[in-house]
Copies of this chain bind each other. A is one copy, B any other.
Amino acid sequence: MSPRTPAQNEEIRLASQEKILRAAFELIAQNGYESTSIAMIAKKAGVSKGLLYNYFDKKEDLVRALLEAAMREGDVMLRELMDDDASATLKNIFQWFFREMREQPHHWRLMAELSLKIDNLNIVRKFALGKLNEYVGLMENLLTRLGYENALGEARLIVALFDGIGFEALILKKDYPLDEMEAYLITKYCQEK
């Protein structure tokens, strides 16, 4: 009889958003942004198309929310990989990256897909620029502590390497030699001396 309390509503809202975001993530990661229709997302989420627009004003907003969530997760991960020892941290990062490539190739697919849409989806650009600089900075710090002369150059190289490997693995899938690359990189960067 009496209306739902604000707290109850908030809970319901969060649950619905969660369902929608999860469905959107999987579909966009699998098929790309343009090939994923609002109808598909709603269907997979088990809600009506209309409800989706209760939470996200435009299709683009869905992507923004997706990106934000993905980046937040990435940050948490990265922080957990930190170690007092620079070499150990670097190794953790390499291992984490290759594990991700194996277990969650979707994540990378989403990022790549959206990145290409930058010209059309303006939100994406800001995210990408900030994140890239953040990763390069972090890597530079590690390499400096490891005694690299041109730590910035090598940091940029490694970050680009991640992107390149991600891209190639995305396309070649099982044909890409993830194991060999991982071993080679760890040997090269973490076994100094």
Contacts and interface: CB of A to CB of B under 8 A. Distances in A.
A150 to B, nearest CB: 6
B177 A168 contact: no
Q: Of residues A115, A150, A160, which shows the largest number of chain B Cβ atoms within 10 Å of its Cβ?
A: A160
Contacts of A181: 153, 156-157, 160
A178 to B, nearest CB: 11
Q: Of residues A124, A171, A184, which shows the largest number of chain B Cβ atoms within 10 Å of its Cβ?
A: A171
Contacts of A15: none
A161 B157 CA distance: 7
A165 B153 CA distance: 12
Given A184-B150, A184-B157, A119 B171 contact: yes
B165 A160 contact: yes
A132 B168 contact: yes
A109 interface: yes
Contacts of A157: 161, 181, 184-185
Given A117-B32, A120-B32, A167 B112 contact: yes
Question: Ordered nearest first, which 3 A-B pairs have the shortest CB separation?
Answer: A164-B164, A160-B164, A153-B184
12 contacts: A115-B171, A116-B171, A128-B171, A129-B175, A132-B171, A150-B184, A154-B184, A157-B184, A160-B181, A163-B167, A164-B164, A164-B165
Given A156-B177, A156-B181, 10 more contacts: A32-B120, A35-B120, A116-B170, A118-B171, A125-B171, A125-B173, A128-B171, A160-B164, A160-B167, A164-B166
